[in-house]
Chain A
């Protein structure tokens, strides 16, 4: 379980004034669940990702993984970013090989993400969707407990996004990982997650929590169903 306890965090602006992001923020993410966090731009979603990942330390409060306080980044929490974070000078295979030695595991995940036949290509020779699949493969090979996705599909066009949603959802559910998806796309949040946490503007607070009533596996056609559209309207 991932738990954020009494998180208090602020930034200083140019005038040296405090811009409060979190004031006693608490949240629990259950093991194996796919949760989505939505909120307006600038509400602190990316700060939250950075705190969970261990890239920044909150001014006050604790991040607990399985009841253990964590202070630094680690393989148990891998972030998949919106920005391209692949190593451009390494081939698809080398990007994965850097993280894990076992050939068997590398092949397994390249196969799972349909990248095996592209293993000798460089990231700049891949499409946006393939790059994202490579990011997923790279995250999955180290067998993390948590995958934190920060607007992972933000830079992709609509068609690719639709295809990836279904593909990656199947991969994530099959691997039984705990996923926290941070997005501003309500449709994406409903389609991928089983619980949606809606944040308010800063200081961010949990405004609402919604349980998504659709079972897995989910097909892309779900997005056209009445229930899906109604839920989207409600949010």
Chain B
């Protein structure tokens, strides 16, 4: 409740500041103008098309990154020889920002959704991989010894022991990854897309509609926040032993 009250105060301050400094507020629009723009876009229904386009790109790229990075990290941590080759490659590619991959993505996959999926994938892959890998290698030797003593098969060890031991680390990676995925999709849409919130911002920038630009930014923030909260909820559901 306090948080909502805090946001209302911030919005009120923003609105009131229009009376004192017309130049800046004219540049960035007043909250009431942004709300009116939102209302109009909601009635027209066009904003939902952009939101769904961005969400679709994030979900496809993020889910593929989550599945592939978790599997690769589990294998890299468990099968030392596999990790020996993969880990340095990941360490070299990790510092490259997703936006730097855009030219290659457009060259290889063309303008459109596949490029955006790829950029989102790159953005989400590394935080999930790194966190999962850290979880895997931090597993105490005692669990491995128990598995060896009880002659637990590799497949069972990977899926029922190593995966679940690493799950808190995986979720940390997923929460960082979803933020990165969301940032990456906007960057990809700013450059090479015909829909999505990034495209919406870019288009309205060119049309000098700052109310819509700020609305686009607010929607990005809100949806990113909701995605992060959804993952936190999923984390609680997936790890009942932590809750208890």
Contact = CB atoms under 8 A, between A and B. Distances in A.
Contact of A53 (B149, B151, B152): B149
Given A89-B165, A89-B241, A99 B145 contact: no
Interface stretch (B7-15, B43-51, B156-164): B156-164
A72 B145 CA distance: 11
A73 B161 contact: no
A130 B28 CA distance: 63
Contacts of A75: 149-151
Contacts of A85: 142-143, 145-146
A74 B149 contact: yes
Given A98-B152, A124-B244, A89 B145 contact: no
A55 B143 contact: no
Given A85-B143, A87-B164, A98-B160, A79 B239 contact: no
Interface string B154-197: 00100011001101000000000000000000000000000000
Interface in B115-155: 140, 142-143, 145-146, 148-152
Contacts of B160: 90, 98
Contacts of A87: 143, 161, 164-165
A77 B149 contact: yes
Interface in A55-82: 55, 72-75, 77-79, 81
A125 interface: yes
A134 B241 CA distance: 17
Nearest to A75: B151
Interface residues of A, number: 24
Interface in A101-128: 122-125
**Residue of A74, A79, A98, A122 contacting most chain B CB atoms (<10 Å):** A98
A87 B145 CA distance: 12
Contacts of A73: 145, 148-149, 151
A76 to B, nearest CB: 9
**Residue of B150, B156, B161 contacting most chain A CB atoms (<10 Å):** B150
A213 interface: no
A75 B167 CA distance: 28
A99 B167 CA distance: 21
Contacts of B145: 53, 55, 73, 79, 85
B141 to A, nearest CB: 8
A81 B167 CA distance: 24
Contact of B142 (A83, A89, A123): A83
A89 B164 CA distance: 7
A231 to B, nearest CB: 33
Contact of B150 (A81, A123, A142): A142
Interface string B214-244: 0000000000000000000000000111001
A125 B164 contact: no
B204 to A, nearest CB: 48
B156 to A, nearest CB: 7
A32 interface: no
Contacts of B152: 98
A54 interface: yes
A140 to B, nearest CB: 12
Contacts of A125: 244
A23 B62 CA distance: 57
A88 interface: yes
Contacts of B164: 87, 89-90
Contact of A72 (B148, B167, B239, B241): B148
Interface string A39-56: 000000000000001110
B148 A55 contact: yes
A73 B177 CA distance: 39
Given A85-B143, A89-B167, A74 B241 contact: no
B156 A98 contact: yes
Interface of B: 140, 142-143, 145-146, 148-152, 156, 160-161, 164-165, 167, 239-241, 244
Which 8 residue pairs across A and B have the least CB separation, nearest first? A73-B148, A89-B164, A122-B241, A73-B149, A85-B142, A89-B241, A85-B146, A99-B150
6 contacts: A53-B149, A73-B148, A79-B145, A85-B143, A122-B244, A142-B150
Given A55-B148, A89-B164, A90-B160, 11 more contacts: A73-B145, A79-B145, A83-B140, A85-B146, A87-B165, A88-B241, A89-B165, A89-B241, A90-B164, A98-B150, A122-B240
